Amino acid sequence: MAEETRKVEKIVGVNGNMITVEYNSRIMQNEVAFARVGDAELKCEVIRVRGKYADLQVFESTNGLKVGDEVVFTGELLSIELGPGLLAQVYDGLQNPLKLLAEHSGFFLQRGIYLRALDRELKWDFTPMAEAGAEVVAGDRIGFVPEGTVKHYIMIPFAWQGTWQLKSVTPAGSYTIDDVMAVAVNDRGEERKVTMTQFWPVKIPISDYREKILPEKTMVTSQRTIDTFFPVAVGGTFCTPGPFGAGKTVLQHAISRHAEADVVVIAACGERAGEVVEILREYPELIDPRTGRSLMDRSIIICNTSSMPVAAREASVYTAVTLAEYYRQMGLNTLLLADSTSRWAQALREMSGRLEEIPGEEAFPAYLESLIASFYERAGLVELRSGDTGSVTICGSVSPAGGNFEEPVTQATLKVVGAFLGLSRERSDARRYPAIHPLDSWSKYPSLAAADQLACAREILRHGSEVNQMMKVIGEEGTAIEDFVTYLKSEFLDYVFLQQNTFDEVDGATGADRQKYMFNKVVDVLKTDFEFKEDKDFARRYFLELRQLFVDSNYMKMESSEFKEQEKLIADKISQCAIGA
């Protein structure tokens, strides 16, 4: 940054991670500044201007800051760098590369150290797509480099305004990210260089597309409860609220591993460091069956865990969604998993408290709802100006205080998402995983299964649950055998289809074809009339045995011979008691 744009002001107050600065020059809302303490410069962001004072949130520990210390303003909004080399990276909420940071400063995250997000020495094979003389606008593609399996387009920076003419385009070859790929001039004679990278302010959506399209295609996650019962669409939004211990993170990890997306951005926002470590250490080893490459190659991890500075936590979800939007611009389907948006909301609450704003419900700021809505609205399936389509799908986990879905973050989220996968304590206590509640959850997106089959399965679940409630009051002996069998069928459906063992190689991921096949089989059982001659103990035992046969088959590879054998056993078992078999 040029020296004349640097404005130096002085601190007049420190309160936790907020500092107050008395200013004499031009100050911009959300402008980035650096507070100097000793040799270190601590990154901060303007969050309020009042009279001649500006309040800034500091992205680091404020220990040691004094009244009178200098704060240097940059004149820029909080931005991240976009370009080839983002995939497989692990960043903190401000796009600091954590692995480099570890080499640089060891075990601990020393404050005031900011490293470049992208490798400046790595060379990329550039293929030009535009020619000198062409007219271009922001977002136009001038060439591409291969990044793993992704065709990474080099684009005119999104921030450029007006029409530009390409003066030169660099020929095909191997270049670093800072090499000039093109030179452009506008009609005022201003000349600018295009490199492989550009900066974009994270809190502003990248909106360079023709139009948004209604998301109608199911995104296969290989989780049976989701894809069949509560599906997610490519470019849709969904949330997974649940009390602690209900399996939110396990579910998110399963989705991140198996979802059919080109790029997955995982934002570990204010959650446990250990969970991120699992991703960091395991993903490089896991193979993505769709590409044959390591899972890490399609992932970007934004990691601002709970003990890292709270202001950077607030920034981390924006950093993550900006990265997802960037890859969407290349015509890719990206999936953003934010775990957990409640921590992000709490970060907002902490700052709001320090600003002494009038609190809303549970002391969350009054603008929480609109912030949550505008975050989820950054998802979507879009038609790009190139004619390609690209999408950002957002899944936010929510950690409601006390597991109570009435709280403000859950309620604000439910208003804006297309699917709600509510995790229940009751199910997780009974070890019925994934603990997605089959009656309370909903989705507005199309399912893998046929509508009539789904309706039949839902009816059994609903009726079975009613019978179960009723049995608690009137007892088993007072329950009609028909109702009792419905209850057994609903339990059967739960055990063999809804429940899924994430930690098993086969059962952990059920692809679309197998899901449809399985669901047909299960619905056939649900629709079959059985003859039990009023003997409930016999009926129970029969269903336990049938369930066991199905569960065993869930652990078998579909093409294996044992699976075929198992199917015969199942068919025999069904014909034992089926009427008309």
Partner 1 sequence: MRKVYHNIIHIAGNVITVEADNVAYNELAEVTGSRGTSLAQVIRLDRGKVALQVFAGSRGVSTQDQVRFLGREMQVSKSPALLGRVFNGRGAARDHKPDITDSMTDIGTPSVNPAKRVIPKNMIRTNIPMIDVFNTLVESQKLPIFSITGEPYNELLARIALQAEVDVIILGGMGLKHDDYLILKRTLDEQGALSRTVMFIHTAADPVVECLMVPDMSLAVAEAYALAGKRVLCLLSDMTNYANALKEIAITMEQIPANRGYPGDLYSQLAARYEKAVDFDGAGSITILAVTTMPGDDVTHPVPDNTGYITEGQFYLRNGRIEPFGSLSRLKQNVNGRTRSDHRAIMDAMIRLYSEFKSTLEKQSMGFKMSGWDNKLLKYGRRFEKEMMSLAVNIPLEDALDLGWKILADCFDRTEVGIKTELIDEYWGKGE
Interaction pattern, residues 198-237, with partner 1; x per rule: CB under 8 A: ----------------------------------------
Smallest distance from the beta carbon of 14 to partner 1, in angstroms? 4
Task: Find the shortest distance in angstroms from Cβ 28 to partner 1.
Answer: 24
**Interface with partner 1 (CB under 8 A), residue from 142, 206, 308, 435:** 308
Q: Which of 124, 227, 261 is nearest to 181 (CA)?
A: 124
Tell me how far apart the alpha carbons of residues 18 and 40 are, in angstroms, rounded to a whole number.
Answer: 17
Rounded Cα distance between 76 and 92, Å, is: 20
Question: 422 vs 236, 266, 468, 511, CA distance in Å?
Answer: 17, 20, 21, 22
Asked whether position 431 contacts partner 1 by CB under 8 A, the answer is yes
Query: Which residues ranging from 64 to 93 are in contact with partner 1 (CB under 8 A)?
Result: 64-68, 90
- Cβ pair 89, 300 in contact under 8 A: yes
Contact of 161 with 122, CB cutoff 8 Å? no
Return the residue of 295, 310, 320, 485 that touches partner 1, per CB under 8 A: 310
CB of 163 or CB of 307, closer to partner 1: 307
Site for partner 1 in 43-62 (CB under 8 A): 61-62
- One-letter amino acid of 38: G
One-letter amino acid of 533: K
The residue (of 90 and 461) whose beta carbon lies closer to partner 1 is: 90
User: What track of x and - describes contact with partner 1 for positions 332 through 351 (by CB under 8 A)?
Assistant: -----------x--x--xx-
Interface with partner 1, residue 572, by CB under 8 A? no
| Interaction between residue 163 and partner 1 (CB under 8 A) | no
CB of 449 to partner 1, least distance (A): 26
Distance CA 569, CA 564 (A): 9
From the CB of 560, what's the least distance to partner 1, in Å?
14
Say which DSSP state 228 is in. Answer: I
SS3 44: strand
Query: Within positions 351 to 390, which residues make up the interface with partner 1, using CB under 8 A?
Result: 352-353, 356, 359, 362-363
188 binds partner 1 (CB under 8 A): no
Residue 121 touching partner 1 (CB under 8 A) = no
Give 400-421 as a DSSP string.
Answer: -GGG-TTSHHHHHHHTT-SEE-
- Rule CB under 8 A: is residue 134 a binding residue for partner 1? no
In 231-368, beta strands by DSSP E: 237-241, 263-269, 299-304, 333-339
Angle of helix 368-376 relative to helix 341-354, nearest 10 degrees? 140
Task: Compose the 239-268 pattern: x for residues touching partner 1 by CB under 8 A, - for all others.
Answer: ----xxx-----------------------
* Residues of span 457-496 touching partner 1 by CB under 8 A: 471-473, 475-477, 495
Answer yes or no whether residue 569 interacts with partner 1 by CB under 8 A: no
Residue 284 as a binder of partner 1 (CB under 8 A): the answer is no
Near partner 1 by CB under 8 A: residue from 135, 178, 216, 282: 282
Between 450 and 544, name the residue whose CB sits nearer to partner 1.
Answer: 544
Burial class (CB in 10 A: 0-12, 13-18, 19+), 308: buried
The answer to whether residue 281 forms part of the interface with partner 1 (CB under 8 A) is yes
Q: Which of 183, 401, 456, 506 binds partner 1 (CB under 8 A)?
A: 401
In the complex with partner 1, which residue's Cβ is closer, 16 or 205?
Answer: 16
> Distance (Å, rounded) from C-alpha 80 to C-alpha 116?
10
Task: Name the strands in the sheet holding 141-147, side by side, starting at the edge strand that comes first in the sequence.
Answer: 150-155, 141-147, 124-128, 173-175
Tokens read off for 526: 């649900």
303 forms part of the interface with partner 1 (CB under 8 A) = yes
Query: Token pair of 128, please?
Result: 């030009």
Alpha carbon dihedral 211, 214, 219, 223, in 10-degree steps, equals: 140
Q: Is 299 in the site for partner 1 (CB under 8 A)?
A: no
Whichever of 117 and 303 has its CB closer to partner 1, that residue is: 303
**Could you tell me the smallest distance in angstroms from the CB atom of residue 472 to partner 1?**
7
Left if phi > 0, otherwise alpha if psi is -120 to 50, otherwise beta: which for 270?
left
Residue 568 binding partner 1, by CB under 8 A: no
Q: Residue 432, class by beta-carbon neighbours within 10 Å (0-12 exposed, 13-18 middle, 19+ buried)?
A: middle
CA 581 – CA 577 distance, rounded (Å): 8
122/116 Cα distance (integer angstroms): 13
Binding of partner 1 by 414 (CB under 8 A):
no
Of the two residues 51 and 107, which places its CB atom closer to partner 1 in the complex?
107
| Alpha-carbon gap, residue 86 to 97, rounded angstroms | 10
Residues binding partner 1: number (CB under 8 A): 83
Q: Does 110 bind partner 1 (CB under 8 A)?
A: yes
Whose Cβ is closer to partner 1: residue 152's or residue 313's? 313
Residue 464: count other Cβ atoms within 10 Å of its Cβ: 25
Verify binding: residue 391, partner 1, rule CB under 8 A.
no
Looking only at residues 503 through 542 of this chain, which bind partner 1 when binding is defined by CB under 8 A?
503, 536-537, 540-541
User: Can you tell me the distance from the alpha carbon of 293 to that of 149, in angstroms, rounded to the nearest whole number?
Assistant: 9
Residue 183 in contact with partner 1, rule: CB under 8 A: no
40 binds partner 1 (CB under 8 A): no
Q: Give yes or no for residue 446 binding partner 1 (CB under 8 A).
A: no
Pick 201 or 353: Cβ nearer partner 1? 353
Q: Which residues pair with 422 in a beta bridge?
A: none
| 545-564 footprint of partner 1 as x/- string (CB under 8 A) | x-xx--xx--x---------
Binding mask 19-38 toward partner 1 (x if CB under 8 A, else -) reads: -x------------------
In whole angstroms, give the CA distance from residue 553 to residue 229: 21
